Amino acid sequence: MYLSLQKRSRLWMKISEACVLGFAMLLVMGHLASAMDVTVLSKMNALNGTNVRLSCTFNSCYKIENSKFSMNWTYKECHNCTNVTFLQYKHKWIYPKDHQFEGRVNFTGNLNKNDVSVTIKNIQIDDSGLFTCEVKNPPDRQQGRGVIDFNVITEVPPERDSTIAVIIGASVGGFLAVLILILVVVKCVRRRKKQELISDEQKIEEEGKMDGEGGTEEGTKCQ
Ligand SMILES: *[C@@H]1O[C@H](CO)[C@@H](O)[C@H](O)[C@H]1NC(C)=O
Ligand SMILES: *[C@@H]1O[C@H](CO)[C@@H](O)[C@H](O)[C@H]1NC(C)=O
Ligand SMILES: *[C@@H]1O[C@H](CO)[C@@H](O)[C@H](O)[C@H]1NC(C)=O
C-alpha cells in the first residue's frame, strides 16, 4: 500500500513535469513562429566627429523578396519628438532629403544576410537620440523593430581611462608582488641551506661568517 502510493505520486510528478515542459516548448515555438526578431544594440555611445555603424539584423521565416521587403531607418531626438526617416527600402534604397543626416548616410548592410545596418558619417553632438530600425518582410505578418538609444560624447570617458590605469597598475603590482615573493622564497631557501651547512660545522666558523655577512637577523626571520 505504502509503495504503491509512492509510485503513484512519482507518476503524478512525472506527468506534471512533462506538462510544464510541453507548455514551455509551446510558448517558445509560438514565440519563434510569430515574432520577427530585430537585433540592435539597445544603447550606443559614439565619439563626436567619428563615423558610426548602426548595426541592425533580423530573423524572418521567409526569404527576402525585393518586391515585398521594406524597411525604414528613423531618428527622433526624444521619445516625444517627431520621427525623421533618413533611409528607406521600398523596391530600392531611398535616401530622403532635408534632415540633419543628409549626405552622411550610407547603407553598410547586406540584404542577403538579413543585415540592414547603416553608417552615419561625422557624428555631431545633436545626433544624440533614438534610432529605430523597422522591418517588414511579407508574408511574415509581424513587423520587427529595434530601437537604439544613441549618445554622442565629445571625449573618451574618464572611466575607461581609469579602468585601463587600474588594469595596468594591478598587473604591474601583481607582477612585482610575485617577483618579491619569489626573491624572498629563494633567499630563505638559500639561507636555510647555508644554516644547515653551518650547523654541521664548528661554532667558531659560523660566528665568523654571520658577522661578515651581517645577515643574522634575516637568517632567523626565515626559519
Ligand atoms: C566635435 O568634433 C570636432 C572635430 O571633430 C570639433 O571641432 C568640435 O569642437 C567638437 N565639438 C564639441 C562640442 O566638442
Ligand atoms: C516606412 O515608412 C513608410 C512611410 O512613413 C510606411 O508607410 C511604411 O509602412 C514603413 N515601413 C516600415 C517597415 O516600417
Ligand atoms: C508630448 O508632446 C505633447 C504635445 O505634442 C504634449 O502634450 C505631451 O505632454 C508631451 N509628453 C511628454 C511626456 O513630454
Domain membership of residue 183 (yes or no) is no
Domain membership of residue 109 (yes or no) is yes
Ligand 1 atom nearest to CA at 124? 1
Q: The whole model's pTM is what?
A: 0.60
Domain membership of residue 185 (yes or no) is no
Among 69, 70, 82, name the best residue to mutate to test ligand 2's pocket (greatest count of ligand atoms within 8 A of Cβ): 70
* pLDDT for residue 190: 77
C-alpha of 29 from chain center:
27
Q: List phi, psi (to 5°) of 130.
A: -110, 120
Total count of domains within the chain: 1
The percentage of residues in the chain with a pLDDT greater than 90, rounded to a whole number, is 50
Domain membership of residue 78 (yes or no) is yes
* pLDDT for residue 23: 53
Domain ranges, residue 56: 36-153
Domain membership of residue 21 (yes or no) is no
More confident residue, 14 or 72: 72
And the C-alpha cell for 83? 520621427
Ligand nearest to the CA of 71: 2
Domain membership of residue 140 (yes or no) is yes
What is the whole-number distance in angstroms between the Cα of residue 81 and the centre of ligand 3?
9
Query: What are 65-118's pLDDT values in tens digits?
Result: 999 999 999 999 999 999 999 999 999 999 999 999 999 999 999 999 999 999
Q: Which sign does the torsion angle of CA 146, 105, 110, 71 carry?
A: positive
Question: What is the rounded CA–CA span in Å between residue 212 and residue 111?
Answer: 82
Domain membership of residue 28 (yes or no) is no
Alpha helices in 1-144 (DSSP H): 2-34
* pLDDT for residue 221: 44
Domain membership of residue 141 (yes or no) is yes
Residue 187: pLDDT band (50, 70, 90) is confident
Query: What are 36-72's pLDDT values in tens digits?
Result: 899 999 999 999 999 999 999 999 988 999 999 999 9
| CATH code of the domain in which 133 resides | 2.60.40.10
User: Which residue is closest in CA terms to ligand 1's atom 5?
Assistant: 49
Residues in the chain: 223
Residues with CB under 6 A from ligand 1: 48-49, 125, 154
Ligand nearest to the CA of 69: 2
Q: Is the CB of 136 under 6 A from ligand 2?
A: yes
* pLDDT for residue 199: 66
Mean pLDDT of 175-202: 72
Ligand nearest to the CA of 82: 3
And the C-alpha cell for 45? 555611445
